[in-house]
Copies of this chain bind each other. A is one copy, B any other.
Amino acid sequence: MPYFDAASSAPLHPVARQALLAALDEGWADPARLYREGRRARMLLDAAREAAAEAVGCRPDELVFTPSGTRALHTGVSGALAGRRRVGAGLVVSAVEHSAVLHAAAAHRAGGGEVTEVGVDRTGAVPAGAFAEALREGTALACLQSANHEVGTVQPVAEAAAACRSAGVPLLVDAAQSLAWGPVDGPWSLLAASAHKWGGPSGVGLLAVRKGVRFAPQGPGDERESGRSPGFENIPAVVAAAASLRAVRAEAAAEGARLRALVDRIRERVPVLVPDVEVVGDPVRRLPHVVTFSCLYVDGETLLHELDRSSFSVSSGSSCTSSTLTPSHVLRAMGVLSEGNVRVSLPPGTSPADVDRFLEVLPGVVSAARERLGAPAHGPAAERAAPAGADGEEAALVVDALGRRCPIPVIELARVIGDVPVGGTVTVLSDDAAARLDIPAWCAMRDQEYVGERAAEAGGVAYTVRRRV
């Protein structure tokens, strides 16, 4: 049963399981107590902190354990902002950060703070120069992920950290996706991560705050975890988290190379096997285990469902699979196709045979889904007889796709483009959020000209496309 969604949550590493079992019997007592059970718990906690700090590349007293990566990010952002309140209320984030960072940024904005979002290129990479330029007087904190969780693109963290250091701004790095593969380079100030992403147990995040970084934890606190993470310590889970981080690091070089080759195979073969596919994310500067692609004329939910029936577990950034009805903010920021989006993230130990079987299964799944939706066949638009009275702009065609969800508006567009004379336009009316991303993306893939959008009289948005080929 191949599970290909390690970037959401990795299966428990055997070392994590072992360590958790051992620590259940030794680590349940209060480490603040002086009796033997408390001292034993304290020793386990201290040892876990040392091991985790070594893997992160910080001092043990700079690292605290939190109940999740999300809470580590929330605590890190609010504490660092409050610690530098006198400098200003500016927060710089990339547009493709994990939602935990963006939620913390939204809370900061709601409290009167100022948030600057730095955009990305089409590979999902944050340009180091643009990030540096966003740092201003009054910037209290900057946040940058080490690598993107949806498309795998590695971010220029070392350059960003150097720019932050020059500007005197602390940099918080969300290392959730990359910590299994190695420490984060550069003079970062804060770092957050999540154990269940590296095969550790749920319930453990970590937050490192370098000595010298001004930090004022927000909300009620207590004496635990240096006053930065209130509540009884979850020592068995913390022990398992530290042990498994050490274990995955020992395997990182070999396993990283192996998964990188498997992902390369997917990156190469998918566009060959499946027509009308866009593989997104940086092909080289990327996580070893993540690859994301989008398929024209098909909805992500159907793909996920059919792949699940074939026993492959993957995730999708398509709007049709999310409760918000909008495509993932990462795909939106990249400006790439969002329909039929599939993220494959391979857990350690994935066999080449499973990847081969995935490549065997995928084409049939996509073509069956397209067939059901009546998607047009692959290839350049076949010029049909020009419709009566057609003479360029005058006879512009309008497709009403109001009320239709992704990928229908794009399918309708593709269906009628053959009816448009070269040089003529077609306008698609749509109130589906994905259309804003997918119609321009379709134009780029099909070599047609995307003219632009305007509010439609009938409600929704009118997207206009000029036939070029």
Contacts and interface: CB of A to CB of B under 8 A. Distances in A.
Contacts of A312: 35
A75 B205 CA distance: 19
A49 to B, nearest CB: 16
A70 B230 contact: yes
Interface in A172-214: 194, 196, 201-203, 205
B103 A220 contact: yes
Nearest to A311: B36
A103 B217 CA distance: 13
Interface string A60-101: 000000011111001000100000000000000000000110
A38 interface: yes
A402 B35 CA distance: 30
Nearest to A3: B37
A1 interface: yes
Interface stretch (A145-153, A231-239, A448-456): A231-239
Contacts of A24: 12, 17, 20, 201
Interface stretch (A26-34, A131-139, A406-414): A26-34
A305 B221 CA distance: 28
A106 interface: yes
Interface residues on A, range: 35 or more
A62 to B, nearest CB: 21
Number of copies of chain A assembled together: 2
A22 B323 CA distance: 30
A386 B1 CA distance: 91
Contacts of A69: 231-232
Contacts of A74: 219-220, 230
Contacts of A78: 219
A202 B232 contact: yes
B67 A234 contact: yes
A107 interface: yes
A376 interface: no
B202 A235 contact: yes
Given A231-B71, A232-B69, A237-B237, A221 B103 contact: yes
A5 interface: yes
A313 interface: yes
Output the residue of A67, A99, A103, A194 with the most chain B CB within 10 A: A67
Contacts of A313: 29, 33, 35-38
Contacts of A8: 29-30, 33
A21 B233 CA distance: 20
A204 to B, nearest CB: 8
A34 B222 contact: no
A308 B36 contact: yes
Contacts of A35: 3, 5, 304, 307-308, 312-314
Nearest to A230: B70
Given A71-B231, A107-B220, 15 more contacts: A3-B37, A8-B29, A9-B29, A29-B313, A36-B308, A67-B231, A69-B232, A70-B232, A78-B219, A104-B220, A107-B219, A202-B232, A202-B233, A205-B231, A219-B219
User: Nearest 3 A-B pairs (CB), nearest first?
Assistant: A68-B231, A67-B67, A203-B234
